[in-house]
Amino acid sequence: MTLLDSVRAGEDGILVLGNHPGIVQSILDFDFLAGKKRPSVVGIIAGTRKAQKFFFGPGEILLPCFSNIARVPESVGKRVRWMLNLQSGRRSFDSTVSFFERFPDALGGHLFAENIPEFHATELIRRYGERYLIAGPSGVGIVVPGALKVGAIGGVDVSQLDAGKLATPGTVAVVSTSGGMTNELIRAVAARGKRISFSMSIGGDRFPVTSLTQVLALSESDANTKSVVYFGELGGEDEYEIVQMIKEGKLTKPIVCYVAGVIDEAFDEHMQFGHAKALVATKNQSARAKRDALGGAGAIAPESFPAFLKAIEALPSGDVHDTVIDISAMEKRTASILSTREIVDLQSVPVFVRDGKLVAREQNTFAHAAIRALLGKDISPETSALVENIFELLIDHGGHVSGAVNTMITARAGKDMVSSLAAGLLTIGPRFGGAVNEAARAWREGVSTHSDAAAFVEEKTRAGLLLSGIGHRKYRVGIPDPRVAAFADFAALLKNHPHYDFARAVEAVTTGKNGNLILNVDGAMAALLLDMLAEKDGFSDAELQELIDVEFFNALFIIPRSIGFIAHFIEQKKNDEGLFRLPDELLFEQKRGEQGGEK
């Protein structure tokens, strides 16, 4: 099986190094037009962001981003076959080496940058030139119609891809050092009723990693390719590689060549024509000399560009069966501001009443829907029940806690429900309600590092850190928090509960120092949720850590407590006691204490 056969068989996973949204989007548009069920781009190496939004067809998707190649997880890495390196010329060498060290079984890639230092380019040739198919430095990349697009080749607009008929495999290989002319030739071939078998922009820098000879040898060995179209220019000696291959019988398929730059003969001195090697250094590097050599060897080498286009038109086309694609919806796409998913499925509205009667429904429906919305996936009945228990027990803890107090004071100041709720919610933090997430972080750290509980407590204490999830003002050893006791029953539903066990082990250490340093409701729910999500819902260690990093666990306090705050707001509005102020006697006691030296 040749490399092109492997590509056509589905070896298409592309890891993008650097960020160029237009080029990445064009690859996704190619994938969709080609009828692929999933994008070929598997990830982007792009700084600190975790994801970047793109379109796949008319709909939006998020592509994962990673800070460096080493952080690409195995689940993503197993698909990687191609590199699209969009980084600067100075950075391209190091990142390319890192890529092939991590993915030695890859098939190749594309170096987009031009003016990569020549020492780097020649070293890349030495290391990878014989083993991988690499377009560039400089150019637009590689395309195999219906199968693979690496780079800007074929265009970056969906209408350009459609005009090039890149969803339909054909028989004509298109090869050029020039990126711009590669795209023009793809359009020219399509406009003349042909379809391409593959195309590659070798690159306009002096030292392309994959040589013209290698690309033409690939076309010769490809059963799908029946002819070759080549565009060259003055300077360099690439065309003499074609001459040599024809003379040695290594290139037997018809090849139509055009070499641009005869205008150079009109100047007193040779001119630089764009690319690094497009400058005549010796007589045999002129456009005319190379045209003559190609024609003499048996290639079709027209004297003018219109004649070149006619020669393309004369090539055999084979059977062309284009798939008719309506791209109008893709041309009118508008990106949403934030979310890429519909939190509530309005096509599946739950039924509560039918024929004038209540319909029997499964338990824990709100909790199930809420947690599913937060996680973006369905959850087990056990997790759903735990979340329902958490929601019911955390709705309120009395009117004396800071969040409820702020809500009530704001309500009595005449403010509306949203303002009053916001005032209450803004008090949630490390000292009130916001410790659930940090408790989860502590238990995750302890379990993942296989820490001894006593050593763990000692380490945190010496560092002057609070142990989130430990301690209560009201409850203590012998007077347990009934909510914690209710949560504890869920441990019996699990085969293993390492986070809960670690939390209890920490509690055994801390209560030995102070009876109030018990496992509190924050710590218990955090530990059990970690264990439940891992065992019952299949969350990996990395996914649990990600939930901690995005503060998921605090949501399990905020959601139910919001209802409690609203209840306090409604009560205050009903009672309408007017503006709240501290009692005068309290102020008098405070002033007397200050005068007496009390603090």
Say what the pLDDT of residue 283 is: 58
Say what the pLDDT of residue 263 is: 56
3-state secondary structure string across 108-152: EEEECCCCCCHHHHHHHHHHHCCCCEEECCCCCCEEECCCEEECC
Say what the pLDDT of residue 559 is: 94
Confirm if 498 and 531 have CB atoms less than 8 A apart: yes
Determine the CATH number of domain 3-313.
3.40.50.261
- Three-state SS at 63: strand
Taking alpha carbons only, the member of 99, 95, 67, 66 closest to residue 82 is: 99
Catalytic residue ranges = 275
Confirm if 147 and 12 have CB atoms less than 8 A apart: yes
Say what the pLDDT of residue 369 is: 86
Say what the pLDDT of residue 597 is: 47
- Stated pTM of the model: 0.71
Q: Cα-flanking dihedrals φ and ψ of residue 51, to 5°?
A: -160, 160
Could you tell me where the DSSP H helices lie in 64-117? 74-77, 89-102
Strands 357-358 and 353-354: antiparallel
Say what the pLDDT of residue 274 is: 54
Dist CA 13 CA 78 (whole Å): 9
- Three-state SS at 569: helix
pLDDT of 112-141, one tens digit each? 999 899 999 999 999 999 999 999 999 999
- Three-state SS at 257: strand
The list of the chain residues with pLDDT below 70 reads: 235, 261-284, 337-354, 356-364, 585-599
Q: Cα-flanking dihedrals φ and ψ of residue 233, to 5°?
A: -150, 170
DSSP codes, 405-453: HHHHHHHHTT--HHHHHHHHHTT-BTTBBTHHHHHHHHHHHHHHTT--H
Residue 378's identity, in one-letter code, is: D
Residue 477's identity, in one-letter code, is: V
Domain assignments of the chain as residue spans, ordered by start: 3-313, 372-575
Name the residue with tokens 């007017």: 578
* Integer angstrom CA distances of residue 236 from 136, 262, 268, 279, 503: 16, 14, 20, 7, 71
**Two tokens, residue 29:** 């548009």
Say what the pLDDT of residue 49 is: 83
Say what the pLDDT of residue 588 is: 58
Dist CA 578 CA 412 (whole Å): 5
Where does 267-363 show beta strands of DSSP type E?
353-354, 357-358
Residue 342's identity, in one-letter code, is: E
Q: Rounded to a whole number, what is the distance in angstroms from the first to the last CA of the chain? A: 85
DSSP structural state of residue 478: T
pLDDT of 86-107, one tens digit each? 999 999 999 999 999 999 999 9
Report the C-alpha dihedral over residues 370, 376, 378, 384, rounded to 10 degrees. Answer: -30
Distant-in-sequence, close-in-space partners of 517: CB < 8 Å, separation ≥ 6: 467, 470, 471, 507, 510, 511
Say what the pLDDT of residue 363 is: 53
Dist CA 112 CA 92 (whole Å): 9
Residues in the chain: 599
